[in-house]
Structure 1
């Protein structure tokens, strides 16, 4: 078995340590920048800010080219960091726009609710006004009817004629049946008896005769007149 001198072993270990210390670290911002680019794509970055989003992508791709082609980790990491910084600014702007859109949506919803409430109040006010007008109309109609009834009750009764001038072709039953006389043809004997001085035959009247119309007769007089009328 070969035994290496201690000095040689120490030399080998030192070389390994130096090699590890001088090796460039891998890019530290690459994964964060890549994740941020994907996140911006999912949150409407390309549509809202197409130029800015494309600039961030190009910066990240430049870093990828430096890393893969030039094998320069440090310079590539600088591009990744720049893309990350630009992406943070764009993300903040997207969040601001989102907040503004949400606030605008809330404002519009509040305005719609206010308009709907105002329209509801206007409808209720119009309905209440219509009901009030209808009540007033009915009240006015009732008051007018009551006034007419009161006025009618105060009007003096229509005076019934105490005389009647015979017209051509009229008979005593026809005269007795007139509304302003008795409205009853069977009461003609009352007129006949009151005018015996100028009526000899109850079946014959002369135009122009002025007949007296009895107004104050008893129930018995009316019964007797109807009985007499039934015999003739």
Structure 2
């Protein structure tokens, strides 16, 4: 992956004066509001990003289990599937993987365009993009419910497109919030940074990175439990989480 979290050999940049939450220090103090009252920063954004991490984990559990074996956010895995499908001449798998990867890229592109020219932080445009992400996850949920929780290939492909686009939007939003090295979708670099810090000199434990990893894992497990015991309602978990982020951000700004 080309984003900073994966490109860095240690999973992210060296710690800065902001502390372990990865957010650049600002004049906001603890209330999460920058000097521009329209922009959220600080601990408020850290919490919002943590809930978005849970959104990705729970949505990926649904997608990889029930939508042709593809992820919504783990593009490395989808690229592996695409390469395997090309060699195996498996047209169904090629289509599913290409749609998942392509729509993720499209989501990143659209969100980055919307956020162009803004300083780091959570702006009103950021909330609008998260609302758009929620709409995409709602479309996945609608398709799931229409298929009674058992979507076939013809429905799984557009659902994958919506899920991939939602995670692309989320990745772009995360990258714009002023949290260098933080990801809410792909966590290979997060894991690398955590254990690289434990083995480095001086040794350090990145509590925020560990929290994100455990949040993603717990949300994925939660999604899997819903798929096992109440499969019809499984996509409602990521939908509820991303909707809560959009509403909480607007409430914090009010």
TM-score interval for Structure 1 and Structure 2 normalised by the shorter chain: under 0.3
Choose between structure 1 and 2: higher helix proportion.
1
TM-score (norm 2): 0.22
More RCO (CA 8 Å, sep 6+): 2
- Bigger Cα Rg: 1
TM value normalised by structure 1: 0.24
